[in-house]
A and B are shown apart, each in its own frame.
Chain A
Amino acid sequence: MDALRDVIYGSGLLHVTWGTVLMWSAAFLLMFLAIKKQYEPMLLLPIAFGMLAANLPLAGLMEPGAGFLWRFFHYGVEWDIIPPLVFLGIGAMTDFGPVIANPKTLLLGAGAQVGVVFTLVGAHMLGFDLREAAAISIIGGADGPTTIYVGAKLAPSVLGATAVAAYSYMALVPLLQPPVMKLLTTKAERQIVMRQLRPVSKVERLLFPLVSTLVICLLVPASAPLMAMFMVGNLFRESGVVDRLVKSSQNELMNIIIMLLGLSVGATLSAETFLRPQVLMIFGLGMIAFILCTATGVLLAKFMNLFLKEKINPLIGAAGVSAVPMSARVVHAIGSEANRKNYLLMHAMGPNLAGVIGTAVLAGVFISVLGG
């Protein structure tokens, strides 16, 4: 009977608290959003399960040095291995043609990052220290791996919340962006038709990752882990001679990495770190960051139109938040709503990809200045 009593006392059942029940509920809610609503399911589903698993009493999955999920998190995320590998996969999937054909769009990618900086100021004024404020504000860049990279480097205490906020809002891009875009543009501006992009030669495509790596990594060395992997993935793709590497980067490697990333980030969401009033503030600031980044992108596009002979449709500035390709699709939808003949998808892909680069550059600046 003693043995039975020991087994019962040693089970997690007697250690369930209100905190753990609340965390399970939050995990189930995320699973519902991922499965039923299909909000970024590839990441939200493993994040939600990691959250559930990490909140199982006595399971010790996140126990430092011993926990199974802790090892994924420590060696994968804290050692900066997983986020750069995600960038490798994204690079192998990305066609930079729209950026090469119209390099002006790079500035729009930078414009959207101004919203991140505004959010940084707001978060700091609300009481977060500079490292936490930087990790929170980067949510506005709408780039999951970069958000996780910055969080792990600068503020591990807010990492789980910022990652969940980033992926949740990325799924909500079609709801968050259109009102801001419509508010800041006139119907005449939304109707602007842009000339079809020129074809891009293979040599230009091959040189793009090389030139970008040199420029970006020389100017902001702290962004090199993300940018170098992004560009080598793209070089694999454009070289046309390493099909197997491209396919592995796009599929098997990417899928494995995403599973490990989701599970380990979700596992950082314990009741002690998640059930705090600051987490609500992080979610609020994340949404503000998204809105501000959309607004600054559109406003920069309008400003550029003051100097350009051939006007650009200011809607494409909104795609400067990364969220590839969701944001570009939203721009295209709003543009064709104003003018049926408007085909903005490829034009919006330029700022969209520039936004990925811009967010990684800003992350590099934050890390180098605040010390990762």
Chain B
Amino acid sequence: MDLWELVISGVVMVFLVMAVLQLALGAVSLVIRSVEARQKVPAPQGKPVERGQ
């Protein structure tokens, strides 16, 4: 094994793993956050009902 092959494979793999991990985490958190946003119960709309009505 040549020194420079080791150098290149080391640098490429570290950046590749981190880039893929970053994309995967970004995608996962995007999905989770959009699902969570949809599941939020909407605030009650319209006029409040007064007592005695």
CB distance from A121 to the nearest CB of B (A): 6
- CA A361 to CA B15, docked complex, whole Å: 10
Asked if A120 contacts B6 (CB within 8 A), the reply is yes
Asked if B28 contacts A207 (CB within 8 A), the reply is yes
Contacts of A136 in B (CB 8 A): none
Mostly, the A contact residues are: helix
Partner of A215, one of B9, B14, B21: B21
Q: Does A220 contact B (CB under 8 A)?
A: yes
Q: Does A346 contact B (CB under 8 A)?
A: no
CB distance from A108 to the nearest CB of B (A): 9
Q: In the complex, how many residues of chain B place their beta carbon closer than 8 angstroms to a beta carbon of chain A? A: 26
Asked if A216 contacts B17 (CB within 8 A), the reply is yes
Q: Give the nearest-CB partner of B36 in chain A.
A: A201
Asked if B13 contacts A106 (CB within 8 A), the reply is no
Asked if A103 contacts B6 (CB within 8 A), the reply is no
CB distance from B5 to the nearest CB of A (A): 8
- CA A220 to CA B21, docked complex, whole Å: 12
Q: Does A330 contact B (CB under 8 A)?
A: no
Partner of B7, one of A100, A117, A354: A117
Query: What is A's interface to B at a CB cutoff of 8 Å?
Result: 99-100, 103-104, 106-107, 109-110, 113-114, 116-117, 120-121, 124, 130, 134, 201, 203-204, 207-208, 211-212, 215-216, 219-220, 354, 357-358, 361-362, 365-366, 369-370
A sample of 23 inter-chain contacts (CB < 8 A) reads A103-B26, A103-B29, A104-B22, A106-B18, A106-B21, A107-B15, A107-B18, A107-B22, A114-B11, A120-B6, A121-B7, A130-B6, A201-B36, A204-B28, A208-B25, A211-B24, A215-B17, A215-B20, A219-B16, A219-B20, A362-B13, A366-B6, A369-B10
